[in-house]
Amino acid sequence: MQKRNFSFYVWFIITLGIVLGTISGCDSLSIKQSLSGEEFTLADQDSSAVTFPESYRGNVMLVGYVYTHCPDICPMITYNMRDVQRALPGQSDFMLVSVSFDPDRDTPEILKDYAQNYRIDESNWRLLTGKKSDVEELLDALSVTTIKTPTRFTEENKPIYFIDHTDRVTLIDREGNVRKHYLGSEFKPEEVKEDILKLLNES
């Protein structure tokens, strides 16, 4: 009897683990936050005005947060996002967005150069900047934290500083709902691709 009860207990624990794992898996793309109704006025790398996220409504978006002077994490985020883009060639209703949190230096022209330097396909990838207050409001809404280091100046009086920041990439659905966050510098492009395809296939 004791042996039978022990076997049942083991079976119950294993079954419960499978069920909880399944529930957790399904929940990974549940709505975490809604940006519907929010309006953040920005500009893209072509200096076109953008109201985020409304301007891109109807698209599934992969959104990263970077700045062009970043020496470490941001390049990895950009390369990972580029890998996702290349894994979904010609995919309609999908776009990538990079938001710069260094608008003082990252003008649209600088972002355009950044895109070209990283050989980004700009057909469905927008790089956004704007007024500092507007950028900060967007970052705050998405819980992205930035901390600027003290500024020093070159002999030519050029400011030099770095920005510590949240290592994050966000998946947003067609309606402007946040569905998932990834560790930007370390996520697996194949996993993100599968999540994107699930959202694209939602009715």
Indicate the DSSP class of residue 3: H
pLDDT tens-digit profile of 9-21?
434 443 444 334 3
Q: Are 150 and 55 part of one and the same domain?
A: yes
106 contacts: CB under 8 Å, gap ≥ 6? 67, 68, 100, 114, 129
pLDDT tens-digit profile of 68-108?
999 999 999 999 999 999 999 988 899 999 999 999 999 99
- The β-bridge relationship of strands 94-100 and 125-128 is parallel
Give the domain range for residue 10: 1-30
Q: Are 135 and 188 part of one and the same domain?
A: yes
Instruction: Please give the model's pTM, rounded to 2 decimal places.
Output: 0.84
Total number of domains constituting the chain? 2
Q: Are 58 and 145 part of one and the same domain?
A: yes
* Cβ atoms within 10 Å of 33's Cβ, excluding its own: 16
Q: Are 37 and 100 part of one and the same domain?
A: yes
Q: Are 129 and 176 part of one and the same domain?
A: yes
